[in-house]
Chain A
């Protein structure tokens, strides 16, 4: 298999996001439609049902650096959320505490990250964690 370059990979992800090909429980898009380096992205996660996150919408900032997708993106929650893998002061997703980023593979995408974070919210140990007031931000 050949390696798709960063820009065409990101264009693919952008198109999948625009077409809504992925599940409806999360979405993402370019933060700045004029930035042809396609570095900064916005993501949202719809909180999983049967958890304290139900019906909440979480906003995230995703930064795909020049080495993406060989290197994982930097992921940060804008909306306040109480999760063990999220730094409670900054909202940054802590790489070593989140297996998708620590065990990053080139085949992963922003969608993988968002869906796996959503799964994280729904784990038995995390789903009943007390959550900050809805709508508050880091």
Chain B
């Protein structure tokens, strides 16, 4: 981290990153749920005790939050600011606009947005960071790939192929995901009338988000098609001699780009050199593949297990153990994948360079041609030590995501235990079977031996609830449970995505 000039966080990151000075990337700040971070999984009872103690504070937090009736007062409970649905949607639209390929926004013959080899929902990198890295020539631009390359092609053959390249790959117009989702009139921003008013609040929100997604998907196709058309029309006009356009690449530029290229070892597509190269083992990678490489979703550390002992269920683990390692180099597995890019010296065209139409092969010094942008600053060329870009640099929100997942899990396990304890308060003989997932028959209600070893924990809490609580505490906890249950009803989201 630290190499990125500005992080405007404009593209759909739902929450503001928690500022935690003093904690370098890769380590974890102090826990926000009131439990301590444990470096190893510990034995079962230890984990349970830790969980139990954190639960009480969770109850009380939940209670406090509701009592005060204001979200702001719950900040110690959830350290991120919530954005309204509308704000989130605006950010998502902005993100969709930022990944449009525009022929008049190019750097050294490539573009500011990906060609479309990967699906739209996987383009979740920070577009502002990536664009600025491309303009600074610290990351190769998104070149339009060739499906194949044959070194025996003549200049004319190659130019003909390059001239026929589209700005963006074709779209899946009707993905299964949005098959039955109405999108209404895309020119109107309000689409509430598409949703049945009689459904529950949760279902309404759900439907709203699905329609929004389907509309955005459609809108983005239309936006990109508009760009494609404008590109095609300009090309035609220039070819017929009706107009001149400084953004369209000269034949020299097209030839120099594509006569000297290589295959990206990940997508097997052919790109102009120089590509990005892995810092550790100097293997090439195109920018479109590079922006796909990211940390794994937050997960519990993988442990080698003793097959003679029962496996612990994820729901019994401490949420603070959730981790997310930096991505590894795809070629040599070195941790914290980073690339180095050395920009072409003889080909500084497009943004902060000469107009692509005026590029002439390198016998002539390109510097004598007037730059495309007046505000060009030659001193912007970055020192070598700064030429490394890591996977985390282009997704600076990874830590926020990790913390969010920890909170979600902590809340879920608190809710599960709340239900459990409340059942015991109502019926002391109740035994939880909520962890019993196999359910081969209606055994669920009568099952007395839980498969995942949660029974000893439940016995423990039952004793606690019978003996050690005085009346006042009992009331407080019951109130907290009630609120927690309400909370769960509201928060239970049926779909993961």
Contact = CB atoms under 8 A, between A and B. Distances in A.
A contacting B, Cβ–Cβ less than 8 Å: yes
Interface stretch (B327-335, B354-362, B421-429, B441-449): B441-449
Instruction: Report the interface size class on chain A.
Output: 20 to 34
Contacts of A58: 442
Contacts of A57: 442, 444-445
Interface string A71-94: 000000011000000000000000
A27 B314 contact: no
B19 interface: no
B442 A1 contact: no
Contacts of B435: 20
A20 B416 CA distance: 13
Contact of B437 (A1, A20, A105): A20
A17 B444 CA distance: 15
Contacts of B172: 1
Contacts of B434: 24
B439 interface: yes
Question: Secondary structure of the B side of the interface?
Answer: loop
Contacts of B439: 27-29, 42, 44
A133 interface: no
Given A1-B175, A59-B442, A17 B437 contact: yes
Contacts of B438: 18, 29
Given A20-B437, A21-B496, A29-B439, A44 B444 contact: yes
Given A1-B176, A107-B176, A29 B444 contact: no
A17 B436 CA distance: 11
Nearest to A17: B437
Interface in A1-26: 1, 17-21, 23-24
A23 B492 contact: yes
Contacts of A128: none
A44 to B, nearest CB: 5
A50 to B, nearest CB: 13
Nearest to B172: A1
B179 interface: yes
Given A1-B175, A1-B176, A24-B434, A31 B314 contact: no
B339 to A, nearest CB: 30
Contacts of A29: 437-440
B5 interface: no
Interface in B163-184: 172, 175-177, 179
Interface of B: 172, 175-177, 179, 314-315, 434-435, 437-442, 444-445, 492, 494, 496
